[in-house]
A and B are shown apart, each in its own frame.
Chain A
Amino acid sequence: MKWFDYAAPKTLSEALALLAAHPGARMLAGGTDLLVQMRAGRKPADLIIDIKNIAELNELRYERASGLTLGAAVACYRIYGDAAVSRAYPSLHQVASLIGGTQIQGRASIGGNLCNAAPSADSIPLLIALGATCRIAGAGGERVARVEEFCTAPGKNILAAGELLVSMHVPAPRPGSGASYLRFIPRNEMDIAVAGAGVAVELENGKFRSARIALSSVAPTPLFVREAGDWLTGKPVNGESIAGAAEIAKAAAKPITDMRGTKEYRRHLCSVLTRRALETAVRRAQEVQ
């Protein structure tokens, strides 16, 4: 590993000033991706900015009316350790508990998972399905972007030079809603998704009022399959509707063949995982109705 400088600003404005002065700087939250990449000689950086001391990036706040504010540096264990958050967003609890092992969950953040922009990121399809947005700060002020717009290519995101992700906002769960993320890995833990599906549904009178479906590991970025959710809207809640949406998700997937699976296999998994994730989301929605 090459030498680098380290800074741990206490405020957002300090961090932005450092970032403005060092465009090549990289953010350190849990470091579970960054340190591995630096050791492997990928994405070298002269300055590492540790964002764990900044209040806005450590905020974890849920309010029944406004929803969830999730600071970019909040480690996974805080999410599944928070009873109110876990009750309101069982799917988020689930995702925070399946990224890495216990040690990793003590450091790794959902914000980091998003900024790392891996096609296989486990949290991103769910954030897309939940309709989450990103609060982005830069020298010129702040802006908001939808999670499905955030990743632009493997390892690349929409953050411009001098910008950083402050937090994510997840809308409050509506009555009759449920969500789920399901990934396929050959082992039972400690693995990278061969494919994954994040889904959120809202049910009303035995029908889908709305649905959002996103996939991981089957395209250069986490893939929002808007048409699959749109297709479900207004359809009765049954196996046929779910199977139809699963086929649309499968058709939208653009996977490659690599050491984690073949194209054909991954496409097939999109259908299986979307169907199974929808079944779980529907069950959750029915439980809260």
Chain B
Amino acid sequence: MSMPTYKVIGTRPVRHDGADKVTGRAIYGADVQLAGMLHGYVLRSPHAHARILRIDTGKAQAFPGVMAVVTADDFPRTPDRIVDLGEGETPLSCVRGNMLARGKVLYRGHAIAAVAAVNMHVAEEAASLIEVDYEPLACALTAPDAMRADAPVIHGSLRMKELGAPTDTPGNVAEHFRHVKGDIEKGFAEADLIVEREFDTATVHQGYIEPQNATALWNNDGRVLIWCSTQGAFVVRDVTACVLDLPVSQVKVTPTEIGGGFGGKIPVYLEPVAAMLSKKTGRPVKIVMSRKDVFEATGPTPGSHMKVKIGARKDGRITAAQAYLAFEAGAYPGAMVGPAGMTVFAAYDLEHVTIDGYDVVVNKPSTAAYRAPGAPNAAFATESVVDELAQKLGIDPIEFRLKNAAKEGTRRADGPKFRKIGCVEVLEAMKNSPHYKTPLQGPNRGRGVALGFWFNVGLPSSCTISVNSDGTVNLVEGSTDIGGTRTSIAMQAAEVLGIAAEAVQPTVVDTDSVGFTAVTGGSRTTFATGWAAYEAAQDVMRQLKERAAKLWETEAAGVEAAGGVFRSGDRSMSFAELAARLGETGGPVVGRGAVNPRGVGGSFAGSIADVEVDPETGKTTILRFTCVQDAGKAIHPSYVEGQMQGGSVQGIGWALNEEYWMSEQGAMMNSSLLDYRMPTSLDLPMIETCIVEVPNPGHPFGVRGVGEANIVPPAAAVANAVCHAAGVRLFRLPMNPPAIMEALWKPGGKSSQLVPRNP
């Protein structure tokens, strides 16, 4: 199939917001300053699980400089209902309960009350004067602990949903689901070799550099105005309206620039609280989280306990695969175990599969999305077992995966059948990469590979494009720009309009000024908002052809446009020439695009990791790392490569050092960027990238979302590399130096063990 040729798509123009970002002019949430603005501070629970017996705010209220104090009691107690959180639905009671605790605190860092004062120091000091009496309760911190029969019950009202149906079973398991395909027993009976392993992964945080923040003004006309750092301004609008019991039209949210999100800036924590403080004081109120608050009280990704069992024939064909996935939701149900179940075996074309997933509440912060949520955990388990099978069967790990790779027509165990996908192409590109073709030499060194899948989402997006008389256009959109999407969206409009990317001025606007647009998440923005821009640009072109027809006194149907030139017969006019004559042909031209696209194309990514393990300290050095990913069509290759490198680095962080280090009482002991060890530039080689392009038939330009699949395989690839370097396989993330030394010290630790099975 020949690829269409493009003028703008596939080039690398300078990003539209680049100058403001590199000169420090860009306005972030904490930069917002309003006349008469107060500062808010949130008091948080020191206990991981406790009953709240009494809250007395009297002394704080009386403290000089304090203007208001709020607790959960200040908020409307509207009946519970389901609200859309942007990437999923959840009961209002959970959203509200997480914002300010009522009755019980469910994790350390759970918000109790908030103070607004003349400055942040006064607010902080006043908050320390709020008296809270707690009755501490036993806590459950991991999925296996919380699933025990004698575990402390976190939500008295929780009843398990079992295989889609409600039950009367109380406890901490919110849901158990199962995906079945084929006959698992039959599949294992056909295997020559079965490997079954148990895996654990730690709670990890997205680690965005900008903390959550919100500034709110409850205006005298009754409207609530909000400025904040969010991945979805409309989610903030809708959730805030819900919590405050207002119509959505009464809330206006202006998204500021965002210093990273990775899924963690979809949930709403501060905005309704700042709004309520503003209502009480009549003044705007700003709240900015500290780093400790970000770690302790926003949503990390679930820790998980998993069992994966895979059987294969001697020729390397997988006969059956089974997974048990128990994920920690944190304080409220919703552990992203669903996506783990969708992705755990998605890279393989399998006949016999069973997948069991458990959504388990624990006394840790309520988890949020984190870049392909659930999938990196699951891939760590699956790809470790696949590596062990390939090793034991003496088959090259990429060849092994090629023998089993998912392709067009493969049906996943959770239901969907793949359309055109790039799984095989990604594996071929890995095999042919300069990295894989270069032998790795030297002691204590090892190479690992792994494969990962993320399904991506569509969801609604809106855009308008207005034509300027100088031949440029203004593009108005509602997607927070995290990874360069202003430019990747503008480029799709420019391609349709036949003008340069620089001739499109993209602006991300507030919720009053653009149609509904869902979150920047699910790798959807370049795909879906890009599609809205494509539609808006098509709308502009339809109108411009009519204008040209008017000038030429002909039919619009006879006007053709290509490469920024309109033609009819031997007459022609450039985009800019026509744009200058809109006034005389009927006035301004504004195009609109509003879409809810369904043709999402999933993305596959592969990682190749070379590591060296110091056998005396257990420290792993990443020597070389390559990310291969199917982008469908890379609109702006630099930003695709940026996503691939970013996801790879975060995955390396999962692999080596990142974890919530919890005390037995449920306190996070390493809630700073000093002790929560994300990799820095000094810990990494340049991440090599290889973009594969298998166009998505469901998008006008073939786009597949690229934001997430890249984080799925790195931890598994590093784990496999560590195994080949050190001679020990680790089954828990992170594989930090003490963990590697402990594995080396174990009797027989130098050799990887095989579970001998004769089904």
Decide whether A and B are members of one complex. Answer: yes
Q: Could you tell me the distance between the alpha carbons of A92 and B656 in the complex, rounded to whole angstroms?
A: 31
Q: Does A6 contact B (CB under 8 A)?
A: no
* 0 or 1 for each of A167-180: is its CB under 8 Å from B? (1 = yes): 00000000000000
Q: Does A240 contact B (CB under 8 A)?
A: no
Chain A residues lying within 8 Å of B157, measured Cβ to Cβ, are none
Cβ-closest chain B residue relative to A259 = B661
Cβ-closest chain A residue relative to B741 = A265
Cβ-closest chain B residue relative to A275 = B616
Knowing A258-B669, A262-B738, A268-B741, the reply to whether A188 touches B617 (Cβ < 8 A) is: no
**A2 near B682: Cβ-Cβ < 8 Å:** no
Q: Does A192 contact B (CB under 8 A)?
A: yes
**B616 near A186: Cβ-Cβ < 8 Å:** no
Q: Could you tell me the distance between the alpha carbons of A261 and B739 in the complex, rounded to whole angstroms?
A: 9
Report A103 CB to chain B, min CB distance, Å. Answer: 14
Q: Could you tell me the distance between the alpha carbons of A153 and B125 in the complex, rounded to whole angstroms?
A: 29
Residue from the list A189, A259, A264, A268 in contact with B670, Cβ < 8 A:
A259
Knowing A259-B669, A260-B675, the reply to whether A186 touches B619 (Cβ < 8 A) is: yes
**B657 near A187: Cβ-Cβ < 8 Å:** yes
Chain A residues numbered 234-263 whose CB sits less than 8 Å from any CB in chain B = 258-262
Residue from the list A3, A186, A188, A264 in contact with B736, Cβ < 8 A:
A186
Q: Does A14 contact B (CB under 8 A)?
A: no
Q: Does B121 contact A (CB under 8 A)?
A: yes
**A192 near B683: Cβ-Cβ < 8 Å:** no
Q: Could you tell me the distance between the alpha carbons of A271 and B341 in the complex, rounded to whole angstroms?
A: 45
Cβ-closest chain A residue relative to B656 = A186
Q: Could you tell me the distance between the alpha carbons of A184 and B741 in the complex, rounded to whole angstroms?
A: 14
Report B338 CB to chain A, min CB distance, Å. Answer: 31
Chain A residues lying within 8 Å of B618, measured Cβ to Cβ, are 265
Q: Does B339 contact A (CB under 8 A)?
A: no
**A261 near B674: Cβ-Cβ < 8 Å:** no
Cβ-closest chain B residue relative to A3 = B121
Chain B residues lying within 8 Å of A272, measured Cβ to Cβ, are 616-617
**B657 near A186: Cβ-Cβ < 8 Å:** yes
Q: Does B737 contact A (CB under 8 A)?
A: yes
Q: Could you tell me the distance between the alpha carbons of A191 and B678 in the complex, rounded to whole angstroms?
A: 11
**A2 near B617: Cβ-Cβ < 8 Å:** no
Q: Could you tell me the distance between the alpha carbons of A186 and B735 in the complex, rounded to whole angstroms?
A: 11
Q: Could you tell me the distance between the alpha carbons of A250 and B677 in the complex, rounded to whole angstroms?
A: 26
Q: Could you tell me the distance between the alpha carbons of A272 and B619 in the complex, rounded to whole angstroms?
A: 13
Knowing A1-B121, A188-B682, the reply to whether A259 touches B675 (Cβ < 8 A) is: yes
Chain A residues lying within 8 Å of B677, measured Cβ to Cβ, are 186-187, 191
Q: Could you tell me the distance between the alpha carbons of A132 and B616 in the complex, rounded to whole angstroms?
A: 31
Report B679 CB to chain A, min CB distance, Å. Answer: 7
Q: Does B438 contact A (CB under 8 A)?
A: no
**A190 near B669: Cβ-Cβ < 8 Å:** no
Chain A residues numbered 18-35 whose CB sits less than 8 Å from any CB in chain B = none
Q: Could you tell me the distance between the alpha carbons of A56 and B101 in the complex, rounded to whole angstroms?
A: 54
Q: Could you tell me the distance between the alpha carbons of A188 and B680 in the complex, rounded to whole angstroms?
A: 8
**A265 near B674: Cβ-Cβ < 8 Å:** no
Knowing A2-B125, A265-B741, the reply to whether A189 touches B674 (Cβ < 8 A) is: no
Q: Does A269 contact B (CB under 8 A)?
A: yes
Report B46 CB to chain A, min CB distance, Å. Answer: 13
Residue from the list B124, B670, B682 in contact with A187, Cβ < 8 A:
B682
**B657 near A265: Cβ-Cβ < 8 Å:** no
Chain A residues lying within 8 Å of B669, measured Cβ to Cβ, are 258-259
**A265 near B616: Cβ-Cβ < 8 Å:** no
Q: Could you tell me the distance between the alpha carbons of A262 and B680 in the complex, rounded to whole angstroms?
A: 23
Cβ-closest chain B residue relative to A2 = B125
Cβ-closest chain B residue relative to A189 = B682
Q: Does B56 contact A (CB under 8 A)?
A: no
Chain A residues lying within 8 Å of B616, measured Cβ to Cβ, are 272
Residue from the list B675, B682, B742 in contact with A265, Cβ < 8 A:
B742
- Total A residues in contact with B, Cβ cutoff 8 Å: 22
Residue from the list A3, A187, A191, A261 in contact with B738, Cβ < 8 A:
A261
**A190 near B121: Cβ-Cβ < 8 Å:** no
**A265 near B680: Cβ-Cβ < 8 Å:** no
Cβ-closest chain A residue relative to B120 = A1
Instruction: Tell which of A184, A187, A192 has the most Cβ of chain B within 10 Å.
Output: A187
Chain B residues lying within 8 Å of A269, measured Cβ to Cβ, are 617
Q: Could you tell me the distance between the alpha carbons of A262 and B741 in the complex, rounded to whole angstroms?
A: 11
Knowing A187-B682, A187-B683, A268-B741, the reply to whether A2 touches B675 (Cβ < 8 A) is: no
* 0 or 1 for each of A190-234: is its CB under 8 Å from B? (1 = yes): 111010000000000000000000000000000000000000000
**B679 near A187: Cβ-Cβ < 8 Å:** yes
**B674 near A188: Cβ-Cβ < 8 Å:** no
**A187 near B617: Cβ-Cβ < 8 Å:** no
Residue from the list A184, A189, A191, A264 in contact with B617, Cβ < 8 A:
A184
Cβ-closest chain A residue relative to B659 = A259
Report B443 CB to chain A, min CB distance, Å. Answer: 17
Chain A residues lying within 8 Å of B741, measured Cβ to Cβ, are 265, 268
Cβ-closest chain B residue relative to A268 = B741
Chain A residues lying within 8 Å of B679, measured Cβ to Cβ, are 187
Chain B residues lying within 8 Å of A258, measured Cβ to Cβ, are 669
**A192 near B674: Cβ-Cβ < 8 Å:** yes
Chain A residues lying within 8 Å of B670, measured Cβ to Cβ, are 259
Chain B residues lying within 8 Å of A187, measured Cβ to Cβ, are 657, 677, 679-680, 682-683
Q: Could you tell me the distance between the alpha carbons of A93 and B303 in the complex, rounded to whole angstroms?
A: 42
Chain B residues lying within 8 Å of A260, measured Cβ to Cβ, are 675
Q: Could you tell me the distance between the alpha carbons of A272 and B397 in the complex, rounded to whole angstroms?
A: 35
Q: Could you tell me the distance between the alpha carbons of A22 and B674 in the complex, rounded to whole angstroms?
A: 33
Chain A residues lying within 8 Å of B683, measured Cβ to Cβ, are 187-189
Chain A residues lying within 8 Å of B657, measured Cβ to Cβ, are 186-187
Chain B residues lying within 8 Å of A262, measured Cβ to Cβ, are 738, 742
Chain A residues lying within 8 Å of B736, measured Cβ to Cβ, are 186
Cβ-closest chain B residue relative to A195 = B617
Chain B residues lying within 8 Å of A188, measured Cβ to Cβ, are 680, 682-683
Chain B residues numbered 610-640 whose CB sits less than 8 Å from any CB in chain A = 616-619
Report B164 CB to chain A, min CB distance, Å. Answer: 40
Q: Could you tell me the distance between the alpha carbons of A262 and B739 in the complex, rounded to whole angstroms?
A: 9
* 0 or 1 for each of B647-678: is its CB under 8 Å from A? (1 = yes): 00000000011000100000001100011010
Chain B residues lying within 8 Å of A3, measured Cβ to Cβ, are 121
Instruction: Tell which of B618, B661, B682, B738 has the most Cβ of chain A within 10 Å.
Output: B738
* 0 or 1 for each of B171-182: is its CB under 8 Å from A? (1 = yes): 000000000000
Chain A residues lying within 8 Å of B121, measured Cβ to Cβ, are 1-3
**A191 near B682: Cβ-Cβ < 8 Å:** no
Chain B residues lying within 8 Å of A192, measured Cβ to Cβ, are 674-675
Chain A residues numbered 62-106 whose CB sits less than 8 Å from any CB in chain B = none
Chain A residues lying within 8 Å of B661, measured Cβ to Cβ, are 259
Q: Could you tell me the distance between the alpha carbons of A35 and B467 in the complex, rounded to whole angstroms?
A: 53
Report B288 CB to chain A, min CB distance, Å. Answer: 14
Q: Could you tell me the distance between the alpha carbons of A66 and B254 in the complex, rounded to whole angstroms?
A: 65
**A265 near B738: Cβ-Cβ < 8 Å:** yes
Chain B residues lying within 8 Å of A184, measured Cβ to Cβ, are 617, 619, 737
Q: Could you tell me the distance between the alpha carbons of A189 and B674 in the complex, rounded to whole angstroms?
A: 10
Chain A residues lying within 8 Å of B619, measured Cβ to Cβ, are 184, 186
Chain B residues lying within 8 Å of A265, measured Cβ to Cβ, are 618, 737-738, 741-742
Q: Could you tell me the distance between the alpha carbons of A194 and B657 in the complex, rounded to whole angstroms?
A: 13
Chain A residues lying within 8 Å of B656, measured Cβ to Cβ, are 186
Report B758 CB to chain A, min CB distance, Å. Answer: 38
Residue from the list A1, A186, A190 in contact with B737, Cβ < 8 A:
A186
Q: Could you tell me the distance between the alpha carbons of A272 and B744 in the complex, rounded to whole angstroms?
A: 15
Q: Could you tell me the distance between the alpha carbons of A18 and B678 in the complex, rounded to whole angstroms?
A: 43
Q: Could you tell me the distance between the alpha carbons of A188 and B616 in the complex, rounded to whole angstroms?
A: 16
Report B529 CB to chain A, min CB distance, Å. Answer: 37
Chain B residues lying within 8 Å of A191, measured Cβ to Cβ, are 674, 677
Q: Pull 21 A–B residue pairs with CB atoms less than 8 Å apart, ordered by A.
A: A1-B121, A1-B124, A2-B121, A3-B121, A184-B617, A184-B619, A186-B656, A187-B679, A187-B683, A189-B680, A189-B682, A190-B680, A191-B677, A194-B737, A259-B669, A260-B675, A261-B737, A262-B742, A264-B742, A265-B618, A265-B738
Interface residues of A (CB under 8 A from B): 1-3, 184, 186-192, 194, 258-262, 264-265, 268-269, 272
Shortest 7 CB-CB contacts between residues of A and residues of B: A259-B661, A265-B738, A188-B682, A259-B670, A189-B682, A272-B616, A259-B669
